[in-house]
Amino acid sequence: MLSKDLQTALNNQVKIEGDSSQIYLAMASWAEIQGFEGIATFMYAQSDEERLHMLKLIKYINQRGGEALIPRVEQPSLDHSSFRTLFKQLFEHEVFVSKSINELVHISLQERDYATHNFLQWYVAEQIEEEATARTILDKINLIGDDKGGLYLFDNDIKNFPQQNDQTV
């Protein structure tokens, strides 16, 4: 059975994962409108993945005798002034998510809830990948700079960027 504090913290993470899905979705839509099919495809897939992360948490909370709360969907506030700015925001968001997961792990250890600690290890590993992916993309965008040809090639290449395969909920 989940403690009240841990249930609250896990429900907060449900919202963060839902917000992450919305951020990727907003970026996908923006990229699609700009004509960047590869970036849009990548971002739509990432949005779906973040939603699965949210569902995984919801099911876990409910299975442990808690009550998962479904968060309100909010429109992300993003700066679309440049691709560099957009991807920098994405990287910073992934760092924020990692800190949140680490805090959950800390709470689970404080409460000696080893089942939750074990469950969260998947998220710890996932966030290492998420941050690395966001950092790699940001590095590539920084290398490209304002070169339209480079951005075109990047858009083409990102279609084949490795997607995490965590379709299990």
Indicate which CATH number applies to the domain containing 108. Answer: 1.20.1260.10
Question: What angle (nearest 5°) sits at the alpha carbon of residue 47, between those of residues 41 and 53?
Answer: 140
**CB contact set of 111 (below 8 Å; sequence gap of 6+):** 3, 5, 6
What is the residue range of 116's domain? Answer: 4-73+80-158
| CB distance 22 to 75 below 8 Å | yes
Please tell me the predicted confidence (pLDDT) of residue 83. 83
Structure tokens at 135: 């950092």
Mean pLDDT value across residues 19-48: 95
| CB distance 108 to 116 below 8 Å | yes
Split into its structural domains, the chain has a count of 1
Q: What is the pLDDT of residues 65-84, one digit of tens each?
A: 999 999 999 999 999 888 88
Whether 164 maps to a domain, the answer reads no
Instruction: Compute the distance between CA of residue 96 and CA of residue 118 in angstroms, rounded to an integer.
Output: 21
